[in-house]
Amino acid sequence: MPSESKGQNPDPRENLILAALPKKDFERLLPDLQLVDMPLGWTMSESGDHVNYLHFPISGIVSLIYVLEDGSSSEVALVGNEGLVGVSIFMGGESMPSSTEVQCAGAAYRLSRKVMKQEFSLGGKLQHLALLYTQALISQTSQTAVCNQHHSIEQRFCRWLLMSMDRLHGTEVVITQEMISNLLGVRRESITETVGQLQRDGAVEKSTRGRLSVLNRAKLEKCVCECYSVVQEEYDRLLP
């Protein structure tokens, strides 16, 4: 379970959706926004869960993961401070077939189901942004499905790493190769080989304790498939 963050709270507008709200809308929401930590590995919701809170990440990354009956899994989308977690609250489905898990530790502001539904019913800017973000998220999940089917492990890994860097706004991610293999739905040995080759090429550097650093982003962008730019352009189009 998450814990409430202590000390001086960061600005909720570090989340780009909250930042895009008109001042009066943001101030109306502010008393109901609660800051929570998102520890690494925290399962925010399981498949089929009745989601009680909408989360607006301000740091870290949340993965939307689909788990099969045999226990194997694959990431279908990832969310950072550009978005929100819990679209089922306002889309009317009440639950999602995927689970949500914190891939990189961070923090988020959460809003109760009740308040979000009240806000959504007003038909204002938050409703508009939430629907645009949902469309962008659908684009990401669709492109991920295509990518997993048609592109190499190296291309898929580069897509995942670049998308992660974009959401962390940095050049380093703390994650084990086993976790990456679970997210991409491939063997751990395949990730080890891919990271090793990219390290020899001078694109990344793997250090101890699960730290992976990007040394040359241009080399990653040269290796990645078109799925990365397709998703990025759709986000920029819908949520400039």
Give me the residue spans of the domains in the chain. Answer: 12-121, 148-238
- The reported pTM is 0.92
pLDDT at 69: 80
Q: How far is CA 6 from CA 13, 35, 59, 201, in A?
A: 18, 9, 16, 43
Instruction: Extract the tokens encoding 5.
Output: 């963050």
Closest C-alpha among 98, 69, 74, 73 to residue 85: 98
- Cβ count within 10 A of residue 51: 20
Q: What percent of the chain has pLDDT over 90?
A: 76
Residues of the chain under the 50 pLDDT cut: 5
pLDDT at 91: 85
d(CA 62, CA 47): 15
Q: What is the CA radius of gyration of the chain?
A: 18
What is the tens place of the pLDDT at every residue in 124-147?
A: 999 999 999 999 999 999 999 999
pLDDT at 1: 52
pLDDT at 7: 57
pLDDT at 2: 57
The fold of the 148-238 domain, in CATH, is Arc Repressor Mutant, subunit A (1.10.10)
pLDDT at 8: 78
The fold of the 12-121 domain, in CATH, is Jelly Rolls (2.60.120)
